[in-house]
Every structure is written in structure tokens, then in C-alpha cells.
């Protein structure tokens, strides 16, 4: 009887302890494993202890990464005859897993008449085909000689809610941008080289603090190979930022990458790629 009671008591103690551990796991929230950190979250997967508070829906996965890769899709019609089509992109993590898909929404006349200067609306969809980010670029001047009408991009997440802006800062030689919050307050600075030409190498736009002193990341236009660079304007980019950076600011940096692509690396028809801020 004593042995049986002792064993039963021990089993009950283990069951209680196991139940307590499971309850604690649910209440306090478990940290995601390394495997889960490498997997994109699906829209609407608001796992307890996993989705950060105050993060726009669909952007939870951005809180777990410090690098993003952006690949522009090659359009055969555009590559063969030079007819400008809507740009399409895939946004991936470092393992090559797709996080978002982006597509420009523009009409034929605007694309082929305004070229890289064109205004655009780019929608970013998650893996569940839910729109999570919207990028809005108005038509603006492309010359540093007109400082009153420089480039700007508005970032919305979810669509309809502004979370930040990318604003070009006037400079006679260098491409400079301010990363701003929803109230137009400057949070970070972005500075590129005087000559944005990737001849067999990457072009880096350095991400700095709001005072422009400490470098904390970068946006890189990656060299895609001689043949692809000559015959196509399909570009590859990489974005690096601190892991603990606000998710909304990470989304704004994503928008900054698209603006840089259109300003300096977009070729339309027989028009050459733009390398500086002078035209």
C-alpha cells in the first residue's frame, strides 16, 4: 500500500508539474525556435507570445530579421523590345524564402511616357495574398537644381494608414534621403555615393542615425552579372538594419529601396540608366 501510494503520489506530482509547465508556456509566451525564426509568418497567424505588440498586421516576421533580399522579376517583353511593363518583385529572407511579393500598379501611358520619373502605387502582398504594405510615389522632379520639388515616397501599413515617408534631401553631389515617421519627424538618414554605377560591384547606400554620424545598416544594389546588367533592368537589392529596429521603420526602408531603384537603376526604352542626381 505504501509503495503504491508513493508511486501514485509521485505520478500525480509529475502530472501537476507537467500541467504547470504547459500553462506557464502558454501564459508567458515561448520564444520562437531558430527554425521558426527562418520561416515567414502567414497573415493572420497571431501566435501567443510570438507577434509583437503594435506591429501592423502581416509585418510580424520583420521583427525577427535584420536582412531582406529583393529580386526584380525579368519581363521578357520589356527585355526584348523595350516596352515598359509594371515592375514586379519578390522580397525574401536570407534563406531565399519569399516573404512578400510586390507589383507596380500603373497604366501603359504613364510607364512609357514618364519613364523612371513616373508616379506609382506598389502593393506588397504576403504569402496569403493579403495586401500588407502600400507604397505611393507622386510625380516629382529628378534634378538637384530644383530643390523645391524633390523625390518623396509615402509608406502605408496597413493600406490607408501612413507609417512613414522617404524624402530626398537636397545636396549638390550626393543622393541623400531622410527616413521619416508618420508625423514627418526625421528618424534616420540614408546616403549614397556620388556616382551610383555598379560596374562589376555593389552600390551601397549607407543607413545612418538621424544626425548622420553612426552607420547602422545599408541598402545595396547588388551586381547581377554582365549580361543581365546590360540587357535587363531587373535588379537585386539587399537591405541590412538592426534587429531591434522598429518594424514600421523596416517597412519604410523597404519603400526606400524601391524609390532608389526607380531613381537610379530603372531603364526605360532607349533611355539610359541614371547614375547621378543631376538629371
CA distance 262 to 279: 13
| DSSP assigned state of 210 | T
Q: Is the pLDDT assigned to residue 266 strictly greater than 50?
A: yes
Q: Is the Cβ–Cβ distance between 82 and 231 less than 8 Å?
A: no
CA–CA dist 239, 260 (Å, integer) = 12
Mean pLDDT of 245-263: 95
Could you tell me the CA-to-CA distances from 179 to 48, 153, 165, 217 in Å, in that order? 31, 10, 6, 13
Retrieve residue 188's grid coordinates: 534616420
Do 258 and 252 meet the contact criterion of CB atoms below 8 Å apart?
no
Residues contacting 218, CB < 8 A, separation 6+:
204, 205, 206, 207, 239, 240
Contacts of 100 (CB under 8 A, 6+ apart): 90, 91, 124, 125, 126, 132, 133
Q: What is the pLDDT of residues 14-66, one digit of tens each?
A: 344 443 333 333 333 434 434 344 445 454 444 434 556 789 999 999 999 99
Q: CA-CA distances (angstroms) from residue 247 to 103, 104, 108, 243?
A: 21, 23, 34, 9
Q: Report CA dihedral (95, 97, 100, 103) to the nearest 10 degrees.
A: 100
What is the pTM assigned to this prediction?
0.74
**Cβ pair 58, 126 in contact under 8 A:** yes
How many separate helices (H) and strands (E) can be counted in the chain? 6, 12
Q: What is the pLDDT of residues 99-130, one digit of tens each?
A: 999 998 876 776 667 767 788 899 999 999 99
Among residues 146, 184, 144, the alpha carbon closest in space to that of 167 is found at 184
Bigger pLDDT: 2 vs 93: 93
Beta carbons of 254 and 133 less than 8 angstroms apart:
yes
Range name among 7-16, 128-137, 219-228 with the lowest pLDDT average: 7-16
SS3 of 254, please? helix
Q: Give the chain's mean pLDDT.
A: 76
**Cβ neighbours of residue 160 closer than 8 Å, sequence gap 6 or more:** 134
Amino acid at each position: 500500500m505504501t509503495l503504491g501510494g508513493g508511486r501514485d503520489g509521485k505520478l500525480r506530482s509529475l502530472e501537476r508539474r507537467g500541467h504547470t509547465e504547459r500553462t506557464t508556456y502558454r501564459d508567458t509566451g515561448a520564444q520562437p525556435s531558430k527554425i521558426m525564426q527562418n520561416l515567414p509568418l502567414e497573415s493572420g497567424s497571431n501566435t501567443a507570445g510570438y507577434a509583437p505588440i503594435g506591429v501592423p498586421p502581416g509585418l510580424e516576421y520583420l521583427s525577427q530579421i535584420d536582412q531582406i533580399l529583393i529580386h526584380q522579376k525579368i519581363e521578357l517583353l520589356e527585355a526584348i523590345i523595350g516596352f515598359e511593363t509594371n515592375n514586379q518583385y519578390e522580397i525574401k529572407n536570407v534563406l531565399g524564402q519569399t516573404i512578400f511579393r510586390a507589383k507596380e500598379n500603373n497604366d501603359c501611358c504613364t510607364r512609357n511616357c514618364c519613364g523612371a520619373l513616373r508616379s506609382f502605387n506598389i502593393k506588397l502582398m504576403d504569402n496569403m495574398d493579403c495586401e500588407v504594405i502600400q507604397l505611393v510615389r507622386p510625380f516629382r522632379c529628378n534634378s538637384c537644381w530644383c530643390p523645391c520639388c524633390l523625390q518623396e515616397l509615402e509608406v502605408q501599413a496597413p493600406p490607408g494608414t501612413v507609417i512613414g515617408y522617404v524624402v530626398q534631401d537636397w545636396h549638390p553631389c550626393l543622393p541623400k534621403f531622410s527616413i521619416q515617421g508618420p508625423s514627418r519627424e526625421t528618424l534616420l538618414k540614408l546616403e549614397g555615393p556620388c556616382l551610383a554605377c555598379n560596374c562589376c560591384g555593389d552600390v551601397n547606400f549607407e543607413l545612418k542615425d538621424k544626425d548622420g554620424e553612426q552607420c547602422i545598416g545599408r541598402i545595396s544594389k547588388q551586381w547581377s552579372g554582365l549580361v543581365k546588367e546590360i540587357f535587363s533592368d531587373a535588379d537585386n537589392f539587399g537591405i541590412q538594419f538592426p534587429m531591434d529596429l522598429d518594424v514600421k521603420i523596416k517597412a519604410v526602408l523597404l519603400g526606400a529601396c524601391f524609390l532608389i531603384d526607380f531613381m537610379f537603376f530603372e531603364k526605360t526604352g532607349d533611355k539610359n540608366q541614371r547614375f547621378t542626381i543631376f538629371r
